[in-house]
Amino acid sequence: MKNIRNLTAIVTVFVLVLSLLTIASADSAFRTLDEIKSSGTIRIGVFSDKNPFGYVDEYGEYQGYDVFFARRIGEDLGVTVEFVSTEAANRVEYLETGKVDIILANFTVTPERAEKVDFALPYMNVALGVVSPDSRVISDLSELTAEDQVIVISGTTAEDYLIKNNPEIKLQKYDTYANAKNALENGNAAAWANDNTEVIAYALQNEGYTVGIPSLGSQDTIAPAVTKGNETLLNWINDEIKALASEQFFHKDYEATLVDTYGLDYEESLVLEGGGLTE
Amino acid sequence: MDWGYIQNVLPLYGKAAWLTLRTGAAGILLAAIVGLLCAAASHWRVPVLRRITSAYVEISRNTPLLIQLFFIYYGLPKIGIRTRPEACGILGLAFLGGGYMAEAFRSGIEAVDRIQEESALSLGLTRLQTFLHVILPQAAAISAPAFMANVVFLMKETSVFSAVSLMDLMFTAKDQIGLYYRTAENLFLLVGAYLLILLPLSMLGSVWERRLRYAGFGT
């Protein structure tokens, strides 16, 4: 009898938590532009393990293309920036729960994501790419055999693309960039699919790897994102991106953070100024 | 709450639950064997083995499973030892659990009065017979609650398997949220699935504990 009474109690608590969850998910907590300004700090979600876009350097400082832009946002808003480290899979949740004000973590604009968050104007171009070891370069997805596995990072556009378009490919999923890179180095899979910027950087930084498929799927863009409905902040970011075009800010950003990895060859194809609206 | 979506992902959760159960059960079984061997080594005071055992117990109990898994999955391949994700999960669980199980069994064995062992030996039983027929049955009864607590604890520890790319319940939920942003539905399924596995387990445990409660002679 005691067991049954315990069980009833547990089920009751479970249902209670569940109903709280449903209520909570309908209510999104975000901070407006004025609230951010008066608090004196803005919380920006960035990657901590995605060199050279968002990473922590050997002195414990956040660095990278996204971080460079984040610092400028803080400067122009007149507030200090508090960096919050995110993983690919929790970027939407961090905005929905108000843990961060802006996500600047190499966030590719997709229709599904645009239903959940509000994207500002884009600041970078991106497509998917596949990197594999020199010993067996994969230059087409059809070269993968039934035993081959492909590494993807949970919650990325690469994962979504492969699930939808190549459901026959076996995916090996990791939750962080650091783990995925380590797994590729250990030879746990035939290849790694991710944003092409990321895999190109990987092949340039690590000897013995080639980007066999430099462009897969459609050309997309990367943009800052705010919590759905946070119009004041969204408009401010859009104005900021437009204003920064006059000083070619993102070219400067590229030259400060990405040039060491990519050289100057990729500058024009990657960088977007003023949201790309003038082109 | 989108019930259509829940219906769609239910098979994924079924697969994940099966993986959690399969790796959990294998890991716990291995952990129990390792723990019993360690406890026996320290009971019989086997010279060198005793030292190694106590060092192992300290290392396994005082490092997180996540670190042990990293070591096996990402570290060992650097020196040429490669394990598949599932084997790595089982090994990690056995390594961590072995230490906990050893302590659970040791406390049970130590709780059996020395006079029991002395009486058995004076009646002409060998040391092994004494251990198997006199000490272990009583020790098992005393260790049962700690043992069952360890089983539930180890089952829950499978939730860090995402680090080695195992699609267990936790990682499946995280992955689905990351892909389709259905937080409420996936958290509901996640909690539900864990309760479904762990509730019967701990109930079974309490029934079993009561069945075993016959120890305590000679005290």
- Alpha helices per DSSP H over chain A: 2-26, 33-39, 65-77, 91-96, 111-116, 157-165, 177-185, 196-205, 231-244, 249-253, 259-262, 267-270
Q: Give every CB contact of residue A122 below 8 A, 6+ residues apart in sequence.
A: A109, A221, A222, A223, A272, A275, A276
Whether the per-residue pLDDT at A18 is higher than 70: the answer is no
Best of A13, A186, A192, A227 to substitute, by most chain B Cβ atoms within 10 angstroms, is A186
Q: Which residues of A touch B1 (CB under 8 A)?
A: 22
CATH number of the domain within which A239 lies = 3.40.190.10
Q: Which of residues A5 and B141 earns the better pLDDT score?
A: B141
pLDDT at B43: 87
Distance, CA of A18 to CA of A4 (rounded, Å) = 21
**Contact residues, B window 64-83, toward A, CB-based 8 Å cutoff:** 74, 77-78, 82
- Asked which of A102-106, B39-43, B190-194, B208-212 is least confident by mean pLDDT, the reply is B208-212
Section A185-211 average pLDDT? 93
Give the tens place of pLDDT for each residue, B57-83: 999 999 999 999 999 999 998 888 888
Q: Are residues A192 and A58 in the same domain?
A: no
Q: Are residues A117 and A39 in the same domain?
A: yes
Q: Is residue B217 part of a domain?
A: no
Domain total for chain B? Answer: 1
Whole-prediction pTM: 0.81
Contact state of B178 with A154 under an 8 Å Cβ cutoff: yes
pLDDT at A254: 95
First CA to last CA distance, chain B: 58
CB atoms within 10 A of CB A234: 22
- Per-residue pLDDT band for A230 (boundaries 50, 70, 90) equals very high
| Short-list A130, A215, A212, CA closest to A171 | A130
pLDDT at B219: 45
pLDDT at A21: 61
Best of A6, A154, A181 to substitute, by most chain B Cβ atoms within 10 angstroms, is A154
Contact state of B77 with A186 under an 8 Å Cβ cutoff: yes
Distance, CA of B162 to CA of B183 (rounded, Å) = 18
- The chain-wide mean pLDDT, for chain B, equals 91
- Per-residue pLDDT band for A174 (boundaries 50, 70, 90) equals very high
Range of the domain at A84: 26-121+223-273
Contact state of B179 with A175 under an 8 Å Cβ cutoff: no
Q: For A209, which DSSP code?
A: E
Q: Is residue A5 part of a domain?
A: no
Domain total for chain A? Answer: 2
CB-based contact, B171 to chain A, within 8 Å: yes
Q: Which of residues A65 and B46 earns the better pLDDT score?
A: A65
Instruction: State whether the Cα torsion A125-A93-A51-A176 is positive or negative.
Output: negative
Section B159-176 average pLDDT? 93
Whether the per-residue pLDDT at B93 is higher than 80: the answer is yes
Q: Is residue A19 part of a domain?
A: no
Q: Which residue of A has its CA nearest to B168?
A: A173
Q: Please give the structure tokens belonging to residue A249.
A: 């800010």
| Boundary residue ending a domain (A199, A220, A241) | A220
Q: Is residue B218 part of a domain?
A: no
Distance, CA of A171 to CA of B95 (rounded, Å) = 28
Q: Which residue of A has its CA nearest to B180?
A: A112
Cβ atoms A54, A66 nearer than 8 A: yes
Q: Is residue B219 part of a domain?
A: no
Q: Are residues A189 and A243 in the same domain?
A: no
Q: Which residues of A touch B188 (CB under 8 A)?
A: 18, 21
Whether the per-residue pLDDT at A23 is higher than 60: the answer is no
- Nearest Cβ partner of B179 from A21, A159, A188? A159
Give the tens place of pLDDT for each residue, A128-169: 999 999 999 999 999 999 999 999 999 999 999 999 999 999
- Per-residue pLDDT band for A8 (boundaries 50, 70, 90) equals confident
Contact state of B163 with A179 under an 8 Å Cβ cutoff: yes
- Per-residue pLDDT band for A279 (boundaries 50, 70, 90) equals very low
Measure A225 CA to nearest chain B CA, in Å: 15
Q: Is residue B63 part of a domain?
A: yes
- Asked which of A56-60, A120-124, A191-195, B140-144 is least confident by mean pLDDT, the reply is B140-144
Name the amino acid, one letter, at B167: M
Q: Give every CB contact of residue A195 below 8 A, 6+ residues apart in sequence.
A: A106, A108, A126, A127, A128, A129, A156, A157, A158
Task: Please report, rounded to a whole number, the percentage of residues in chain A having pLDDT higher than 90.
Answer: 75
pLDDT at B168: 94
CB pairs under 8 A between A and B: 84
Q: Are residues A208 and A131 in the same domain?
A: yes
ipTM of the complex: 0.80
- The chain-wide mean pLDDT, for chain A, equals 90
Q: Which residues of B touch A186 (CB under 8 A)?
A: 74, 77-78, 82
